Amino acid sequence: MTEPRRDSRWWGWGDPDVPTELGEAAERMLGERGISTGADASPPEIDRVEIPEAVPVDERVLSAAGAENVFTGNEDRIRHANGQNYLDLLELREGRLQHAPDAVIVADSGPRIAAILEACASAGVAVVPFGGGSSVVGGVTPLKGDHESVISLDLAGLRGIEVDDRSLTAKLGAGLRGPEAEALLAERGFTLGHYPQSFEYATIGGFAATRSAGQSSSGYGRFDSLVSSIRLITPEGELSTLSTPHTSIGPALREVVVGSEGILGVIPDVDVRIRPLPAARRYEAWIVEDFEAGCEIVRGLAQADRLPTIIRVSDDSETEVNLAMALPSGAAGSLFRRYLKLRGREGGALVITGYEGSPAAVHRSRSDVAREIRRGGGVYLGQAAGKGWEKGRFHGPYLREALLERGVLVETLETAQQWSGHRNLYETVRAALKSELAANGMEGIVMCHLSHAYRDGASLYFTVISTQGPDGGAANWPKVKRAACAAIQSAGGTLSHHHATGRDHAPWIEGEIGTSGIEALAALKERFDPSGIMNPGKLLDASRAGSDPPSR
Ligand SMILES: Cc1cc2nc3c(=O)[nH]c(=O)nc-3n(C[C@H](O)[C@H](O)[C@H](O)COP(=O)(O)OP(=O)(O)OC[C@H]3O[C@@H](n4cnc5c(N)ncnc54)[C@H](O)[C@@H]3O)c2cc1C
């Protein structure tokens, strides 16, 4: 028997033993921008959280799952009720949940999943596949759709590994979290190289189901490109793709499963491409004139096939906030300030580069990239600042907890566009965010970075830190997010480069994939999930098409 995991904060992100502190410099910086950090938005005790009453689980589902794998206690239901977007976290802190699964069922094998899905289909029970629960787009919200009850199918029991060290592939269980998968691979001398900021809790199955991208994706590839073959267990049988480096047999069914967000079935394991552990690593930081100059450097590197393993460019506003929040007294902070003084300028954009591989490859790539950054006007800040970024690369969500604790609104959204429309997308979305914050009486900071680059374009990742506004964050954020989605679509960007669709983007996808696209997805769903039990209301939600935007 595997129990659901209970090792993170139930009300938000992270290891409860890791403190969530803001720091004086951050408080000062926020205060100067009119963002008060004086509120106390601590969560209640868990036994005071109000959740919808549970509907008893149908006997057929109980016997398919095995009674010992069914958990109906409030703590487990609460831990599976929300993902990790701002509205999810606000609701948890307020202690009143709109949705909760009627039961959490932990699955530990493919045959068990098949039996559970079959029983749920005949009993009319909705199923929400649950990996790490780190979705920021409402992907794990336990919606019932047309059904009487809903279970959260927790895949924590699937943690196997099989390595083929000749082909450099590994079969990884869907329930392995990022650090677990990397530790198992490292014992054998390998790495997957997938490091999203949610690495600590997100799982292999979740990476596949959402087409995730990691901080090192420029070097190792996005998760979808690491998938060599994949399996999907559906209420109507199993789909599996051949383990082969490539095939020309029809459209890629692998791509039907990767990114399916739990609406077609459950991914029990994924065959991934692995690499030997890198012998050398080097991280460093640079300052360039402004965001545009940084993006141009990245475009040049991408188009010359010279991208390092990691490259990210923060816009001027993110650079300032990062330096205040994360590196206030470190080497980067003082060098940055000195540099600004020398140049008599007020802005500048931070660039982080990282190189991983053999010592020779790291040396070669570093020389190429450094030359191009210098040519683009960059000033070297050194390895200490790069190492500082590397050390704190998974700490952002803890800072967000600290801000939420003080009643500050923090949310992110991301998109991508080709280079010809990239600058326009940045400006359009930024302007929309700023003007909607102002229209709702919210004082905020809008910042952005580029972290995934291609020959033809790049991602843009926006962070908003603001006051909640007079009507409160739950009322105001959906309006801001709606403005951002509309701006993204008007500027030709994708609704998401790597966070996926979930519930939040479902009403908007017709604008991206068109009516035929929606119908094609609906036909796939009809084939694999005719009773519509799989993750209702996510990705494909024709009933909400054109309706109101993300809100709870
Ligand atoms: C602080 C933070 C930082 C983040 N940073 C990044 C980032 O850098 N890059 C990035 O790509 N994303 C990021 N995300 C988003 C999120 O972590 C990813 O979408 C991740 O891939 C989700 O993995 P998970 O295991 O938590 O999936 P969950 O949140 O549990 O599920 C996500 C979706 O996939 C479905 N699903 C999960 N497992 C399976 C399965 N085995 N079979 C079928 N369906 C399944 C769920 O039903 C749901 O629709 C971040 C999120 C947070 C909170």
Is the confidence at residue 113, as pLDDT, over 80? yes
Closest CA to 231 of 261, 208, 248: 208
Amino acid identity, residue 310? I
**Distance of alpha carbon 362 from alpha carbon 355, whole angstroms:** 5
CATH number at residue 135: 3.30.43.10
Q: What is the DSSP letter of 203?
A: B
Domain boundary among 119, 136, 154: 154
Looking at residue 329, what is its pLDDT?
46
Is the confidence at residue 351, as pLDDT, over 60? yes
CB 549 within 8 A of CB 541: no
Q: Which residues contact 549 (CB under 8 A, 6 or more apart)?
A: 478, 481, 482, 485, 504, 507, 508
Is the confidence at residue 496, as pLDDT, over 90? yes
Return the percent helix, strand and coil in the chain, to nearest 5: 40, 20, 40
Report the Cα 81 to chain-centroid distance in Å. 18
Looking at residue 25, what is its pLDDT?
86
Looking at residue 492, what is its pLDDT?
98
For residue 473 the two structure tokens come to: 């964050």
- 423 & 375 share domain: no
- 389 & 405 share domain: no
CATH number at residue 328: 3.40.462.40
Q: What is the C-alpha end-to-end distance of the chain, expressed in Å?
A: 34
- 127 & 198 share domain: no
Is the confidence at residue 470, as pLDDT, over 70? yes
**Residue of the CA atom closest to atom 7 of ligand 1:** 196
- 233 & 203 share domain: yes
Q: How many CB atoms lie within 10 A of CB 42?
A: 10
Q: Is residue 409 in a domain? A: yes
CATH number at residue 476: 3.30.300.330
- State the distance from the centre of ligand 1 to the C-alpha of 224, rounded, in angstroms: 13
Q: In the predicted model, what is the mean pLDDT of residues 119-129?
A: 98
- State the distance from the centre of ligand 1 to the C-alpha of 95, rounded, in angstroms: 23
Q: In the predicted model, what is the mean pLDDT of residues 316-340?
A: 69
Q: In the predicted model, what is the mean pLDDT of residues 323-329?
A: 60
**Ligand 1 pocket mutation, candidates 158, 210, 257, 533, criterion most atoms within 8 A of CB:** 210
Looking at residue 203, what is its pLDDT?
98
- State the distance from the centre of ligand 1 to the C-alpha of 39, rounded, in angstroms: 30
Is the confidence at residue 326, as pLDDT, over 70? no
**Residue of the CA atom closest to atom 52 of ligand 1:** 198
Q: What is the DSSP letter of 14?
A: S
Closest CA to 102 of 140, 153, 149: 149
Is the confidence at residue 407, as pLDDT, over 60? yes
- State the distance from the centre of ligand 1 to the C-alpha of 198, rounded, in angstroms: 8
Closest CA to 48 of 94, 2, 104, 107: 94
Q: How confident is the model at residue 331 (pLDDT cuts 50, 70, 90)?
A: low
**Distance of alpha carbon 197 from alpha carbon 479, whole angstroms:** 26
Q: How confident is the model at residue 22 (pLDDT cuts 50, 70, 90)?
A: confident
pLDDT tens for 257-277 read: 999 999 999 999 999 999 999
Q: How confident is the model at residue 552 (pLDDT cuts 50, 70, 90)?
A: very low
Is the confidence at residue 246, as pLDDT, over 80? yes
Q: Is residue 537 in a domain? A: yes
Q: How many CB atoms lie within 10 A of CB 444?
A: 24
- State the distance from the centre of ligand 1 to the C-alpha of 188, rounded, in angstroms: 26
Looking at residue 342, what is its pLDDT?
64
List the domain range (segments joined by +) for residue 200.
Answer: 161-276
User: Hey, what's the torsion of the CAs at 199, 205, 208, 209, to 10 degrees?
Assistant: -110
**Distance of alpha carbon 341 from alpha carbon 334, whole angstroms:** 11
**Distance of alpha carbon 187 from alpha carbon 503, whole angstroms:** 38
Looking at residue 114, what is its pLDDT?
98
CB 283 within 8 A of CB 359: no
Structurally, the chain folds into a number of domains equal to: 5
- State the distance from the centre of ligand 1 to the C-alpha of 515, rounded, in angstroms: 26
pTM value?
0.96
Q: Is residue 514 in a domain? A: yes
Looking at residue 548, what is its pLDDT?
46
- 485 & 515 share domain: no
**Ligand 1 pocket mutation, candidates 135, 151, 155, 264, criterion most atoms within 8 A of CB:** 135
Q: In the predicted model, what is the mean pLDDT of residues 444-459?
A: 97
Average pLDDT value over all residues in the chain: 94
Where are any strands of DSSP class E within 36-166?
Answer: 70-71, 103-106, 125-130, 149-154, 161-164
Atom of ligand 1 nearest to the CA of 209: 34
**Residue of the CA atom closest to atom 9 of ligand 1:** 196
Q: Which residues contact 71 (CB under 8 A, 6 or more apart)?
A: 3, 4, 103, 104, 105, 106
DSSP per-residue letters across 333-356: HHHHHHHHHHHT-S--EEEEEEEE
- State the distance from the centre of ligand 1 to the C-alpha of 231, rounded, in angstroms: 18
Q: Is residue 176 in a domain? A: yes
- State the distance from the centre of ligand 1 to the C-alpha of 88, rounded, in angstroms: 14
Looking at residue 385, what is its pLDDT?
87
**Ligand 1 pocket mutation, candidates 11, 80, 120, 134, criterion most atoms within 8 A of CB:** 134
- 61 & 88 share domain: yes
**Residue of the CA atom closest to atom 18 of ligand 1:** 135
Q: Is residue 38 in a domain? A: no
CB 445 within 8 A of CB 321: yes
- 311 & 325 share domain: yes
Closest CA to 28 of 351, 323, 437, 319: 323
Looking at residue 212, what is its pLDDT?
98
- State the distance from the centre of ligand 1 to the C-alpha of 139, rounded, in angstroms: 8
- 385 & 430 share domain: no
- 272 & 287 share domain: no
pLDDT tens for 155-209 read: 999 999 999 999 999 999 999 999 999 999 999 999 999 999 999 999 999 999 9
**Distance of alpha carbon 346 from alpha carbon 372, whole angstroms:** 24
**Residue of the CA atom closest to atom 22 of ligand 1:** 206
- 272 & 169 share domain: yes
Is the confidence at residue 234, as pLDDT, over 90? yes
Domain boundary among 344, 367, 393: 393
Q: Is residue 522 in a domain? A: yes
Closest CA to 286 of 381, 391, 390, 383: 381
Q: What is the DSSP letter of 138?
A: S
User: Hey, what's the torsion of the CAs at 102, 106, 111, 113, to 10 degrees?
Assistant: 40
Atom of ligand 1 nearest to the CA of 539: 49
Looking at residue 323, what is its pLDDT?
80
Q: How confident is the model at residue 340 (pLDDT cuts 50, 70, 90)?
A: low
For residue 354 the two structure tokens come to: 């990282």
Q: Which residues contact 324 (CB under 8 A, 6 or more apart)?
A: 25, 26, 28, 29
**Ligand 1 pocket mutation, candidates 85, 198, 232, criterion most atoms within 8 A of CB:** 198
Pocket lining for ligand 1, CB < 6 angstroms: 13, 83-84, 128-136, 139-140, 155, 174, 196-198, 202-203, 205-207, 209-210, 212-213, 261-262, 266-267, 397, 498-500, 502, 535, 538
**Distance of alpha carbon 258 from alpha carbon 210, whole angstroms:** 7
Looking at residue 343, what is its pLDDT?
60
pLDDT tens for 356-396 read: 999 999 999 999 999 999 999 999 999 998 998 999 999 99
CATH number at residue 206: 3.30.465.10
Is the confidence at residue 339, as pLDDT, over 90? no
What residues pair up with 310 in beta bridges, in sequence order?
354
Q: CA-CA distances (angstroms) from residue 115 to 119, 165, 303, 324, 382?
A: 6, 33, 49, 53, 56
- State the distance from the centre of ligand 1 to the C-alpha of 208, rounded, in angstroms: 8
- State the distance from the centre of ligand 1 to the C-alpha of 204, rounded, in angstroms: 9
- 250 & 311 share domain: no
- 55 & 144 share domain: yes
Q: Which residues contact 244 (CB under 8 A, 6 or more apart)?
A: 228, 229
- State the distance from the centre of ligand 1 to the C-alpha of 494, rounded, in angstroms: 18
**Distance of alpha carbon 110 from alpha carbon 118, whole angstroms:** 12
Is the confidence at residue 551, as pLDDT, over 90? no
**Residue of the CA atom closest to atom 44 of ligand 1:** 262
Looking at residue 541, what is its pLDDT?
75
Q: Is residue 478 in a domain? A: yes
Atom of ligand 1 nearest to the CA of 139: 49
For residue 356 the two structure tokens come to: 């991983």
Of 502 and 345, which is predicted with more confidence?
Answer: 502
For residue 103 the two structure tokens come to: 């039961």
Q: Is residue 217 in a domain? A: yes
Domain boundary among 348, 371, 393: 393
